[in-house]
Chains A and B, each alone.
Chain A
Amino acid sequence: MHARADTAASWPEEIFSILQRFEVRQVPYVPDAGHSELIERVLGSSSMRGIALTTEEEGVALLAGAWAGGQRGVLLMQSSGVGNCINMLSLVQIFRLPFLTLVTMRGEWGEFNPWQVPMGSNTQGILELSGIKVLRASHPNEVREVVEAGAAQAYNACTPTAVLLSQRLIGAKVFTK
């Protein structure tokens, strides 16, 4: 259960449109509540293939293969998944991949679960140490602009980019008995 901010337009829908426009074909993901609407759109799409992973690092390797085969992709994951990717992110630099990942944040902004905080606090640093540029969207009205910029620099300039979708945007997970 997520408490979501009221918005006129759905930001996951805006992200989906951007991915369509950039001709993204492979969308590996480990499910996250914050990505649930986007994942549903991808799985219902005829031009994109949603690929469920057992661990996020699989998605990094998958996107290397996709690029070699001439397709663009985007990795959808939660902040804790960034930690699972660290060694595999070597591929992003080694192959100079047009790498884009959209990361829903936990462990910040009203977090209930302390176990999310260590990785959430280190997500941006780990990405940057791995050679990936980090952008962040914290409000619904900036998602489109930030994801568009991220996709453009990743796909047009082969500049690996992560867009962090902050917990302030998604809403802190509500735990009730």
Chain B
Amino acid sequence: MSKANLLDRRAVVAELLRDRKGAFAVGGLGASTYDIAAAGDHDRNFYLWGGMGGAVMIGLGLALAQPTLPVVVITGDGEMLMGMGSLATVALQQPKNLSIIVLDNEAYGETGGQSSHTGGTADLVGVARACGIGDSRSISTMAEVEAFASSLQDVTAGPRFASAKIDGANLERVLSSRDGTYIVNRIRGSIGHTPI
């Protein structure tokens, strides 16, 4: 089912996180969480196994709380469509350290590959730009992924949004921890907060 010239999702996420330094990475429900896990477990990985539509808002809360550290939300088209209003909320806040990238396979891969709106008429880059995220772009090459990966380290020029069209192949799941308190307390510990 793979089309020519589409990016490999695991390669995209590996590149985004290759030289992440202190960045937090939030993964949306579904394959993007597996992609982040596949790139290597990290105490600042915020894996989501539910709360569909909430990834960008989790990223915003984190970005506002830690304005000197980069936050990157890596999610899928279905998850982004469910939380589309959060792009308007992000634009209003203008968090300089927040980057959002959608891995767009134009389908709901976790549930059998049903078509999503982005394979039809919806343009998420246009939505993000129209909401007020000025730096909104489509990505179709690994060179553009590399450029996005280095730009997300700049915590003075966000928010930024990108959508990368990726190959729709279902890859082997790489399972992260799914214990929410472990995931959150590990992130909190990484910035010096002890448990209550």
Q: A and B from one assembly? A: yes
B66 adjacent to chain A (CB < 8 Å): yes
Residue in contact with B58 in the complex, picked from A25, A53, A62, A90, CB distance below 8 Å:
A62
Most buried by B among A25, A53, A158: A53
Q: Which residues of B contact A87 (CB under 8 A)?
A: 50-52
B93 adjacent to chain A (CB < 8 Å): yes
Smallest CB separation, A62 vs chain B (Å):
4
A96 adjacent to chain B (CB < 8 Å): yes
B65 adjacent to chain A (CB < 8 Å): yes
Stretch at the interface among B115-123, B152-160, B163-171, B184-192: B184-192
Provide the A60-75 mask, 1 if CB < 8 A to any CB of B, else 0. 1111111111110100
Contact A61 B92 (CB under 8 A): no
In the complex, chain B residues 19-52 whose Cβ is within 8 Å of any chain A Cβ:
24, 26, 46, 50-52
Q: A58-B83, A58-B89, A95-B180 are in contact. Are A25 and B54 (CB under 8 A)?
A: no
In the complex, chain B residues 74-99 whose Cβ is within 8 Å of any chain A Cβ:
83, 85-86, 88-89, 92-93
Q: Which residues of A contact B191 (CB under 8 A)?
A: 69-70
Report the separation of the CA atoms of residues A96 and B179 in the bound assembly, to the nearest whole angstrom: 11
Contact A63 B61 (CB under 8 A): yes
Interface bracket on A: 20 to 34
Provide the A135-162 mask, 1 if CB < 8 A to any CB of B, else 0. 0000000000000000000001010000
Residue in contact with B57 in the complex, picked from A49, A62, A95, A158, CB distance below 8 Å:
A62
Contact B180 A94 (CB under 8 A): yes
Q: Which residues of B contact A158 (CB under 8 A)?
A: 196
Residue in contact with A54 in the complex, picked from B65, B88, B181, B187, CB distance below 8 Å:
B88
Contact A65 B61 (CB under 8 A): yes
Report the separation of the CA atoms of residues A88 and B64 in the bound assembly, to the nearest whole angstrom: 20
Q: A58-B86, A70-B66, A96-B180 are in contact. Are A65 and B60 (CB under 8 A)?
A: yes
Smallest CB separation, A64 vs chain B (Å):
5
Contact B184 A67 (CB under 8 A): yes
Report the separation of the CA atoms of residues A63 and B193 in the bound assembly, to the nearest whole angstrom: 16
Q: A58-B86, A68-B187, A87-B51 are in contact. Are A26 and B180 (CB under 8 A)?
A: no
Interface bracket on B: 35 or more
Q: Which residues of A contact B192 (CB under 8 A)?
A: 70
Residue in contact with B85 in the complex, picked from A25, A49, A55, CB distance below 8 Å:
A55
Closest to B65 in A: A69
Q: Which residues of A contact B93 (CB under 8 A)?
A: 51
Report the separation of the CA atoms of residues A25 and B63 in the bound assembly, to the nearest whole angstrom: 13
Q: Which residues of A contact B46 (CB under 8 A)?
A: 65, 68
Smallest CB separation, B121 vs chain A (Å):
21
B6 adjacent to chain A (CB < 8 Å): no
Contact B180 A62 (CB under 8 A): no
Closest to A90 in B: B50
Q: A60-B54, A87-B51, A95-B184 are in contact. Are A69 and B85 (CB under 8 A)?
A: no
Smallest CB separation, B105 vs chain A (Å):
23
Closest to B83 in A: A58
Contact A54 B86 (CB under 8 A): yes
Contact B50 A65 (CB under 8 A): no
Excluding A26-B61, A64-B184, 16 further A-B contacts by CB distance (< 8 Å) are A58-B89, A61-B61, A62-B58, A62-B60, A64-B54, A64-B61, A65-B59, A66-B62, A67-B61, A68-B65, A69-B24, A88-B54, A94-B51, A95-B180, A96-B184, A98-B196
What are 8 inter-chain pairs, A to B, with CB distance below 8 A?
A: A53-B85, A57-B53, A58-B85, A64-B58, A64-B184, A65-B57, A70-B188, A94-B180
